[in-house]
Amino acid sequence: MYVFLLSFKYLAKARSALFSIGGVLLGVAVVVVVMSVMNGYVVTFEAFIKGANSDLIVGPPRQSVLGNHYSQLREEILQVKGVTACAGTAEARADLLQAGKEIGTILVKGIDPDHEGDSGVLAKGLKQWRTLKTRFRKTAAPYPVFFGKSALGRGGLSMGDRIDLRFYRDDQDRTLAFQVAGLFSSDIKEVEALTCYIPLAVLQELYKMPNGVSRLQIAVAPGADHNRVRDRIDAALKGRVSVRVRQDHPDGNKPLFLDPGANLIVDEKTDRVLSAYSNLRQTILSVDGVAACAGSAESIALIHASGTQAATILVKGIDPVQEGAVGKFAEYLKDGITTREVFAKAPGGDPILVGAKLLGGGVVSPGDGVDLIFPVGESSQQAQSYSVTGTFSSGFHDLDSGVCYIPLDTLQEILGTPDTVSQINVAVKPGYDAQDVQQRLATALWGRAHVMDWSRHPGYQNKLLAVRNERTILLIVSMFVVVISGFVVMARLFLTVVDKTRDIGILGALGSTRRAIVAIFLVDGLLIGGVGAILGIAGGKLFVANLMQIASFIERTFNITVFSPRIYKFDLIPAYLSPTWTVSIGAVAILWTFLISLIPAALAARKNPVETLRYE
């Protein structure tokens, strides 16, 4: 008992104990805050994916739609053991018009109000979902439509607003044959898994845009000021296009879309295509400070190699002559040969470069033939009018700003594809293993549909993996603060031990064992760790609870953007830390201070009592 008594007395007396406790507090608080934010992101993202995609997704085997037998498929799916519900959705891109003026394009999802579950994104984001969905049926124009809170950026749309949608016809898929000219590797996994490169000319011909590119990427000469060069280019092109420094570009941190070596990016201001590529290039190259410049075009396509499932990838049309000069792209190529050389090596079909890890890797090798299926969409001439029936807020930025919902039958009729959906979302009965049900569904629908587990979706999986990795890295980094605060505790304890040398001698004379003396200082360390950890958790939680206020305060005070929903994908900073995590962080901090306290405590035990007793 005297062990505790003395621990308390020693702790209470030394003001330096406050520093130690403060150190542990700070360390634990930092870990709690960082982990809350990272975890919050992971958890919200997972919840979103689950909410948006249900447990399993039945998608088309090859084409982009499940052809005219949705009702029949639905019946079949519902027969499968373990399935509780399923509902089909169709999607299409459309131009969004307000008062006859085109204001952007949007992804339109047709949902089946009779079968759409009450647990999806809409149900969560739309308060009156239950009542609204009964009214959500095809009527005459204006048709009902749901919009996200932040659709069209600031302001958005409100109830009763009238808009028009002009759909693209997606039924004109074009299949082109390619021959794999080479594999590239990239330290960016997404690029390696989801991108392929073909000559720019192929895309230009396909989309009937001779001499057109969707984007120009510019490498600035070493040492030149990026902003200055940007201004010069802007002047040279007389403001016809938008020129942005990489950091200011919305895709600035997306290696999937921007070449790692590009410093400046030129986009068209209104249309999607920059015409007169060669002229533009000449003008830009003549600007002082420009090292290289290359145009590219992009498209999404289904890639199909023999013996594999079709998968969606990003197709980049690149200028084989110029591309290498801009970016690090040349470095990705395995054998160090230039893009031009590689592209020249495909005698049968157009050449294509695919990532070494494409579709998981090992699927194709140089010389193989692959098919790319391009959507060659064209706007339908007719636009229909809609009336905004409700606005939803899923908290997921891309969804709230880029997607709207209309009744499935409306969409089917407009597209001229009766009883056709692009995917069917399947809910699995509680207690059933999603993968078992997936197996059964795949067997039942063999050859006619492809069944996916949401977590296996490559896009989500990569994203989740990346975020989880980031979480681990940040955990390790922030844990360093705890490690350092442990050293502060140790240093203070050393001082205490030296300070209390005489007490240690006296206790020895009075019959204390060495173990008890060790314990006095260990309890001291443990108390510092414990109190620090508890206060740290409380402080961290408090910080997290006021995260948005703190973020906006910093934004106001320093005039910087702390949190951008656009990059972050969510409207609020999601923060969540499970009790297990919280307790574990505290426990690790306490354990660490305890372990590191062993060193000074052991020093205390080594002191010889007799020495100190002889003198004052």
Rounded to a whole number of angstroms, the minimum distance from the CB of residue 613 to another protein is: 6
CA angle 256/189/460 to nearest 5° reads: 75
Q: Considering only CA atoms, which of 207, 223, 210, 218 is closest in space to residue 241?
A: 218
Which positions ≥6 away from 415 have C-beta within 8 Å?
A: 90, 92, 167, 169, 170, 171
CA 420: distance to chain centroid? 30
| Binding to another protein, residues 104-163 (CB under 8 A) | none
Stretch that binds another protein, among 5-13, 187-195, 213-221, 240-248 (CB under 8 A): 5-13
568-594 per-residue burial string, b: 16 or more CB within 10 A, e: under 16? ebbbebbbbbeeebbeebbebbbebbb
Q: Considering only CA atoms, which of 319, 343, 321 is closest in space to residue 216?
A: 319
Which positions ≥6 away from 559 have C-beta within 8 Å?
A: none
208 binds another protein (CB under 8 A): no
| Binding to another protein, residues 504-563 (CB under 8 A) | 505-516
Rounded to a whole number of angstroms, the minimum distance from the CB of residue 431 to another protein is: 48
Rounded to a whole number of angstroms, the minimum distance from the CB of residue 586 to another protein is: 25
Distance CA 241, CA 536 (A): 52
Rounded to a whole number of angstroms, the minimum distance from the CB of residue 498 to another protein is: 15
3-state secondary structure of 480: helix
Q: Two tokens at 367?
A: 């010389």
- Looking at the Cβ atoms of 127 and 515, the one nearer to another protein is 515
Q: Would you give the binding string for another protein spanning residues 236-265, x where CB under 8 A is met?
A: ------------------------------
- Looking at the Cβ atoms of 78 and 613, the one nearer to another protein is 613
- Looking at the Cβ atoms of 8 and 563, the one nearer to another protein is 8
- Looking at the Cβ atoms of 372 and 522, the one nearer to another protein is 522
- How many residues touch another protein under the rule CB under 8 A: the total is 29
Distance CA 446, CA 188 (A): 35
Rounded to a whole number of angstroms, the minimum distance from the CB of residue 513 to another protein is: 5
Rounded to a whole number of angstroms, the minimum distance from the CB of residue 534 to another protein is: 23
- Looking at the Cβ atoms of 140 and 510, the one nearer to another protein is 510
Q: Considering only CA atoms, which of 44, 18, 39, 47 is closest in space to residue 540?
A: 39
- Looking at the Cβ atoms of 335 and 616, the one nearer to another protein is 616
3-state secondary structure of 576: coil
Q: Would you give the binding string for another protein spanning residues 590-609, x where CB under 8 A is met?
A: -------------------x
Q: What is the crossing angle of helices 16-53 and 458-499, to 10°?
A: 170
- Looking at the Cβ atoms of 99 and 510, the one nearer to another protein is 510
2 binds another protein (CB under 8 A): yes
Q: Considering only CA atoms, which of 267, 261, 252, 248 is closest in space to residue 220?
A: 261
The CA-atom distances, in angstroms, between 538 and each of 21, 41, 46, 405, 481 are 13, 21, 27, 42, 17
Rounded to a whole number of angstroms, the minimum distance from the CB of residue 525 to another protein is: 18
- Looking at the Cβ atoms of 6 and 449, the one nearer to another protein is 6
CA 166: distance to chain centroid? 30
- Looking at the Cβ atoms of 9 and 468, the one nearer to another protein is 9
Of the residues 502, 562, 576, 603, which one makes contact with another protein according to CB under 8 A: 502
473 binds another protein (CB under 8 A): no
Rounded to a whole number of angstroms, the minimum distance from the CB of residue 20 to another protein is: 18
Stretch that binds another protein, among 193-201, 214-222, 500-508, 587-595 (CB under 8 A): 500-508
Q: Considering only CA atoms, which of 192, 151, 481 is closest in space to residue 359?
A: 192
- Looking at the Cβ atoms of 14 and 107, the one nearer to another protein is 14
| Binding to another protein, residues 289-308 (CB under 8 A) | none
**DSSP for residue 429:** P
Rounded to a whole number of angstroms, the minimum distance from the CB of residue 594 to another protein is: 18
Q: Two tokens at 602?
A: 């052991």
Dihedral angle, C-alpha 284, 287, 293, 295, nearest 10 °:
-10
Q: Tell me whether strands 403-407 and 241-245 are parallel, antiparallel or unpaired.
A: unpaired
**DSSP for residue 120:** S
Distance CA 507, CA 6 (A): 11
Rounded to a whole number of angstroms, the minimum distance from the CB of residue 504 to another protein is: 10
DSSP state letters, 555-578:
HHHH---S--HHHHSBSS------
The CA-atom distances, in angstroms, between 489 and each of 20, 527, 530 are 5, 11, 12
Q: Residue 174: phi, psi to the nearest 5? A: -125, 130
Q: Would you give the binding string for another protein spanning residues 71-90, x where CB under 8 A is met?
A: --------------------
Q: Considering only CA atoms, which of 327, 73, 115 is closest in space to residue 218?
A: 327
Rounded to a whole number of angstroms, the minimum distance from the CB of residue 19 to another protein is: 20
Rounded to a whole number of angstroms, the minimum distance from the CB of residue 506 to another protein is: 5
Stretch that binds another protein, among 7-15, 27-35, 195-203, 471-479 (CB under 8 A): 7-15
| Binding to another protein, residues 13-42 (CB under 8 A) | 13
Q: Considering only CA atoms, which of 398, 422, 395 is closest in space to residue 408?
A: 422
Contact 394, 148 (CB under 8 A): yes
Stretch that binds another protein, among 143-151, 339-347, 463-471, 497-505 (CB under 8 A): 497-505
- Looking at the Cβ atoms of 535 and 603, the one nearer to another protein is 603
**DSSP for residue 456:** G
Q: How far apart are the first and last CA of the chain?
A: 27
Stretch that binds another protein, among 61-69, 191-199, 447-455, 498-506 (CB under 8 A): 498-506
- Looking at the Cβ atoms of 50 and 502, the one nearer to another protein is 502
- Looking at the Cβ atoms of 164 and 503, the one nearer to another protein is 503
- Looking at the Cβ atoms of 160 and 511, the one nearer to another protein is 511
What residues make contact with another protein under the rule CB under 8 A? 1-6, 9-10, 13, 502-503, 505-516, 609-610, 613-616
